[in-house]
Amino acid sequence: MASTYSDRLKLELQGTGENAGTWGDKTNNNLDVLDAFAAGYLSKNIGGSANVTLTTANASSTAESSNKVIELTGTLTGDVTVFIPAKENNYFIYNNTAGSFTVNVAATGHGANSATIAQGAKTLVYCTSDNVEELFGDDINVTGNVSASYFIGDGSSLTNIEPFPSGTSMLFQQTAAPTGWTKQTTHDNKALRLVTGSVSSSGSNSFTSVFNTAVAVSGTSNNSTVTISGSTAGHTLILSEIPSHRHLEGGHVEFGTGDSESAGTRNTGNSSGARRFYTDYQGGGGSHSHAAGTLAGDNHSHTYTSNFNLNVQYVDFIIANKD
């Protein structure tokens, strides 16, 4: 039975009793093919604008598609698609081309299902026989910086990953700056302000001097002077409220004669002093009150002094710049 070849790596599968005397050579060739698929390197110039198909062959360690790492070079003058065998396999692709055009990698016969490799990127692609996808979800650039949209795992062993450009300023709730960052000391004991325009800094009072436990506040409510005018209500005195008093009678009538006598002549039996006649005492001398009546006045001012407790809670942050 003649030899056949594996579907993916094109290894020679020797039939029973075949290849007498050359079985060892063919086995060693298969090992060379495996060696190329595991770690082989190919530099392929794809300059121009024409699509490129990597060569493939049975039991060949020198076929272009037998290599694991493929570096694409040359200056592009148009978008180029690089076709790999439509078999399940994976490749490391390095797009080291020049020119502002796109490089796609697709399975032969399935150009619409391609993966776009950014210039300067190194990435791992996997072919599912009719579709090519990037295993990282995005590219790894020349310097080793990863811009992938996701990773599987906790990322504790990843190195040389720089998600922030050098000079980026960030806030950290810790005393020392993290590794790869430098603590800034320009701003201290200040509040943060959110703006939509250009950033700046200003003010003259420190955060803790404004927000303290005993901030004295004083002032005047307004500058008007009090003026009050008006009158009390009227009150008519009653007898009990009049001081005790009597009235002098200017003359008297002598009963029986009908004649009026002067004050100098008193009634019979009254021969004292000036012979005058008085009424009885009346009045009690009691107190009395007046209703308030109507009073009016202008605005007036009050001075005040007080302490406000402005001991607001806060959390300290530092500013650090990416090295």
Residues 108-124: tens digit of each pLDDT: 998 888 999 999 988 99
Q: How far is CA 141 from CA 33, 161, 295, in A?
A: 29, 11, 89
Q: Give residue 230's pLDDT.
A: 63
Bigger pLDDT: 243 vs 105: 105
DSSP labels for 13-64?
EPPTT-STTTHHHHHHHHHHHHHHHHH-EEEEE--BSS-EE----TT-SSSG
Nearest of 168, 124, 123, 129 to residue 142 by alpha carbon: 123
User: pLDDT band at 40, cuts 50/70/90?
Assistant: very high
Rounded average pLDDT over 151-179: 77
The residues spanned by each domain of the chain are: 40-141, 239-286
User: pLDDT band at 74, cuts 50/70/90?
Assistant: very high
What is d(CA 110, CA 215) in angstroms, rounded to the nearest whole number? 76
Q: Give residue 245's pLDDT.
A: 79
What is d(CA 74, CA 99) in angstroms, rounded to the nearest whole number? 9
70's tokens: 């493929």
Q: Give residue 161's pLDDT.
A: 65
